[in-house]
Chains A and B, each alone.
Chain A
Amino acid sequence: MLESPEDKEAGVVSADEPEADVEDTDEEAEEEEPVEQAAPQPPPPIEKVLAPQRVRKLDIVSRRNWFFLLSLLIIIPGIISMSTRHFLLGIDFAGGTEFTVTFTNNPSVAQVEDGVAAENIDGTVISTGGGGYLIRTPPLQPAQQTTVLNDLSERVGPIDRTKLSILEVGGTIAGETITRALLAVVAAALAILFLLAIRFRNVPGGWRAGFQFGGSALAALLHDVFLLTGLFSIMGAVLGLRIGEIDSLFVTAVLTVVGFSVHDTIVVFDRIRENLRVSQRLSFEQVVNLSIMQTAARSIITSFTVVLVLVAILVAGGATLKGFALALLIGIVSGTYSSIFNAAPLLVVWRRLQPVR
């Protein structure tokens, strides 16, 4: 029990201190965070000298327009790309037949392309490395598929049948997948709007305030969805990178990001709700800024752990999962950014336009 007195003298806390604590996290690159923690602490006087300057830099709410601008700078090119160049569609959406073949003799792309061209099936060839190729054609009958494979193994080289995969998607299914994916995004967004409105209707302002919270979270969510789909449109349709291809896994990624983005936003909003109750002498702006500061460490740490896992998948995971992992990575970084720099400041703007009292 010798330690107990020490516990109790846990320190008189001034109002600025939580911010000073969090602000480290905010300024340093995410990777440095754990190292910083393990390292010996700098002597307190230095912290104190630096503190006032840094605290001012952290007024996120009053700098909100810069953050909105930054988001728009990324999103607008994405939207332009989506509306003019659309997407690079994967087989799920484009329809057709896709062979994933592995030639044991490791032929060159040109050799495989020649072999496919000789089939007269209007096929395209994509190398996946290690003798592996993706061959895409318009829809083929099973008998035709067998013929193509037999011919290819004759012309190009032996095919490892245990690694063979054939995907055939008709137009009906492709159209349905797109419809259901869009429907799911809209349904999820609406459900989240109402969930938040219900959860936050007990802050001062009632339902109107509840919908302000819900609406701001929805805006942050749409930010993430547009940023992610826009970047993929740029990568796939403008730059022609295969990782920017849109398939049903990408839809999964978008929907996961929807969940995650709201996850982060709710943590900030929940803190705002709590602080509105506790510190009534602060202005709404101050409460929001304080809440952002208090939750920033958690938001960044959580996203950081998920980012670690995703980077692991991106580096070590199977080729089929790389695009998926990249989509999640972009979405989760964007989700954390939008919950800190967009959702809460937007709430402030909204409150100004439509005051609740």
Chain B
Amino acid sequence: MQLILSWPVRLLIVAILLFSVAVDGAGYIYRAVNHYPPAGNVPGLPPNYFGWQLYIHKGLDLAGGTHIDYELTNFPSGQSRADVQQRTIDVINKRVNALGVSEPQIRGAGNNNDRITVDLAGVTADQAQKVIGRVTKLVYTKWVKDSNPANTSGLHPGYKPQLVGLTGDDISSASASIDQNGVAWVVNITFNSGGAQTFDTLTRNNVAACPGDPGTNPNAGCPERFLTIWLDLTQEDINNWDSPGVQAQLLQRYDSGGKLLVDAITDTEISGGQAQISGGAAGFTQTAANDLATGINSGSLPVDLKVLDVTQVGSTLGAESVKLSLAAGVLGLTIVVIFMMVYYRLPGLLASLALVFYAGAVFAVFKALPVTLTLAGITGFILSVGMAVDANVLIFERFKEEVRAGRTIPAAVDAAVRRAWPAIRDSNSSTLITCVILGFIGPPQVLGFAVVLGIGVVASLFSSIFVTHNLLAIVLSSASMRRTALLGADRARIT
């Protein structure tokens, strides 16, 4: 037990104490240094200490927001799934940035790189899904004759669209603006060099499609001259073009559930890679134009996304849970401290001090790592307080026995720590193993709990063995403290 009472260990304890005070009090240190009041809103919080932002990171169930699990389907063949997943994450990231969410978390998951989970604070599920899922792939088509006699109505009767190999991927940037007449919102797009070339060829061919005057009756006369922009139109949609109901569905505007964006006649060849998408007869609203520009800018998703589950938590719902859980935690801690002091007297008091040290250190670790706290995580923390007491109880019960067996008090403390150690080690390592298994094998919802409980177990071991024992040794070095009544060992003598 020489190790426990050695100076390096005591220095370590002091270092952890200073670290905890600095991290836990980071906000207050910042306020004090900048002469801000100790409470209320002040600019610059949480403070940034050399790139370290120290504050409690709240999970969505506490902060409010939306969690979505997506499954990725239709992987493009011949590409590494991990790369595709990463590209998808990048695209989602860009789209989400438009929402202005703080700390969006978009992570890959799944055994086969086929999952992505998205956590967005302060956003409703509806908003999130619109931004992530709705605006996807911009697709250009031209029109070709349809051999199916059933095709007698729709946008261009007797014709069906054909993909031309030009998509949103060929666009280098897009922006929303008012058109040159100053009335309607349009989206200006700039093609990359490959896209510009394709677009140039396409428009040239279109203009040359029907020689003569296209202006007289363009719709009836020459569907080949039309260039149409769709969102998300797939080859499958075109194959089903003549099935009943498909056209009607597709031809609705994209913001009413269809896929048609613009169907425009080509008047002139467009070279130079600049084009404009107008909203057609109805025009774009400012929001619609902006959404579309954002969607195009963030690129298209290389895969299809399927929503597996969605969790949306209201903003104050979480705050209430925090309040209740913290109240429960403080209440629990207080009861434990009172109990320990009544039952174990002086050692109980020292163990309670160690417990406060423990709580402070654990919170500092949560802030510094950072660990995202969820409701289950807070419970894990409260629970680990109970476990933190356990090692002390083992030692103190053993201490009573050793005093009863006739040892002097300092010797009894030493023997108690030494003899209680195997039980403490084995029992805590079993809990730690459970935590690791929970974290790796258990369902993702319990990860936060496992991490918090695991950190709590390690910290509680340290505080109950090292801190309590050192405090006891220091206090017991004064002879006036070595009284059985103070140490709660008197009962042992009477029986």
A interface vs B, CB < 8 Å? 1, 3-4, 6-8, 10-13, 17-18, 20-21, 33-34, 37-38, 41, 44, 47, 92, 100, 142-143, 145-146, 160-170, 172-173, 176-177, 180-181, 183-184, 187-188, 191-192, 195-196, 199, 248-249, 251-252, 255-256, 258-260, 262-264, 266-267, 270-271, 273-274, 294-295, 297-298, 301-302, 304-306, 308-310, 312-313, 315-318, 320-321, 324-325, 328
Chain A residues whose CB sits within 8 angstroms of the CB of B401 once the complex forms: 18, 294
Q: Knowing A267-B423, A312-B332 are in contact, say whether A173-B69 is a contact too (CB < 8 A).
A: yes
Give which listed residue, B336, B389, B422, B446, contacts A255 with CB less than 8 A. Answer: B446
The answer on a CB contact under 8 Å between B484 and A164 is: no
A10 and B495 within 8 A (CB): no
Residues of A within 8 A of B126 (CB): 142-143, 145-146
Summed over the interface, the residue pairs from A and B with CB atoms below 8 Å come to a total of 278
Distance, CA A309 to CA B314, complexed state (A): 28
Task: For the A-B complex with A316-B324, A324-B376 known, give 9 more contacts whose Cβ atoms are closer than 8 Å.
Answer: A8-B408, A44-B494, A145-B126, A162-B317, A196-B426, A252-B446, A266-B427, A298-B394, A317-B328
- Given contact pairs A142-B125, A302-B389, A309-B386, A41 touches B494 in the complex (Cβ within 8 A): yes
- Report, nearest first, the 9 A-B pairs whose CB atoms are least far apart: A309-B332, A306-B386, A259-B434, A270-B423, A168-B310, A248-B445, A166-B312, A184-B442, A259-B431
Contact assessment for A21 and B441 in the assembled complex, using a CB-CB cutoff below 8 Å = no
Nearest CB of B to A259, in Å? 4
The CA-CA distance from A258 to B446 in the complex, in Å, is 15
Complex CA distance for A260 and B428, rounded to whole angstroms: 9
B18 at the interface (CB under 8 A from A): no
Q: In the assembled complex, how far is the CB of residue A243 from the closest CB belonging to chain B, in whole angstroms?
A: 16
Closest partner residue, chain A, to B408 (CB atom): A7
- Given contacts A41-B491, A142-B310, A308-B339, whether A262 and B427 have CB atoms under 8 Å apart is yes
A10, A143, A267, A297: the one contacting B493 at CB < 8 Å is A10
Q: How far is the CA of A33 from the CA of B397 in the complex (A)?
A: 14
User: How far is it, in angstroms, between the C-alpha of A183 and the C-alpha of B69 when the chains are bound?
Assistant: 21
Q: What distance in Å separates the Cβ of A33 from its nearest Cβ neighbour in chain B?
A: 7
B305-347: contact bitstring with A at CB < 8 Å (1 yes, 0 no)?
0011111111111001100110111011101100110110000
Q: Which residues of A contact B151 (CB under 8 A)?
A: none
Confirm or deny: B483 has a beta carbon within 8 angstroms of a beta carbon on chain A.
Answer: yes
Which residues of the other chain, A, contact B317 by a CB distance below 8 angstroms?
100, 162-165
A92 contacts which chain B residues (CB < 8 A)?
445
Contact with A along B40-77 (1 / 0, CB 8 A): 00000000000000000000000010000101000000
Closest to A263 in B: B427
Instruction: Give Cα distance in the complex from A7 to B484, angstroms.
Output: 7
B316 touches A163 (CB 8 A): yes
A147 to chain B, nearest CB (A): 11
Q: How far is the CA of A166 from the CA of B328 in the complex (A)?
A: 26
Closest chain A residue to B327, Cβ basis: A316
Report whether B443 and A180 are in contact in the complex, using a CB–CB cutoff of 8 Å. yes
Q: B125-151 toward A: CB 8 Å interface, digit per residue (1/0)?
A: 110011000000000000000000000
* Chain B interface, DSSP helix/strand/loop, else mixed: helix
- Rounded to whole Å, the gap between the CB of B190 and the closest CB of chain A is 33
Of the candidates B64, B419, B443, the one whose C-beta lies within 8 Å of that of A176 is B443
B324 A317 Cβ-Cβ under 8 A? yes
20 A-B pairs whose Cβ atoms sit less than 8 Å apart in the complex: A7-B403, A17-B404, A34-B339, A37-B342, A142-B126, A165-B313, A173-B69, A181-B442, A195-B429, A251-B442, A252-B449, A262-B434, A263-B390, A270-B423, A294-B401, A297-B397, A305-B340, A309-B386, A317-B325, A318-B375
Contacts of A176 in B (CB 8 A): 443
In the assembled complex, the Cα of A7 lies from the Cα of B479 at a distance in Å of 12
Which candidate, B94-102, B155-163, B377-385, is the interface stretch facing chain A? B377-385
B residues near A328, Cβ cutoff 8 Å: 383
Q: How far is the CB of B409 from chain A (nearest CB, A)?
A: 6
List chain A residues, Cβ under 8 A from B482.
Answer: 3-4, 7
Q: Is there an interface contact between B342 and A192, defined as CB atoms closer than 8 Å?
A: no
Cβ-defined contact, A301 with B343, below 8 A? yes
B123 within 8 A of A: no
Residues of chain A contacted by B327 (CB below 8 angstroms): 316-317
Interchain CB contact (< 8 A) of A47 among B71, B342, B442, B495: B495
- Quick check: A263 and B431 within 8 Å, CB to CB? yes
Q: Chain B contacts of A145 at CB under 8 A?
A: 125-126
B325 near A318 with CB under 8 A, answer yes
CA distance A315 to B312 in the complex (A): 26
Q: Mark B218-244, 1 if CB is under 8 A from A, else 0.
A: 000000000000000000000000000
A171 → B minimal CB distance (Å): 9
| Chain B nearest CB, measured from A184 CB (Å) | 4
B308 x A170 contact (CB < 8 A): yes
Residues of A within 8 A of B426 (CB): 195-196, 199, 266, 270
- A324: which B residues are within 8 A, CB to CB? 376, 379
Q: How far is the CA of A252 from the CA of B452 in the complex (A)?
A: 12
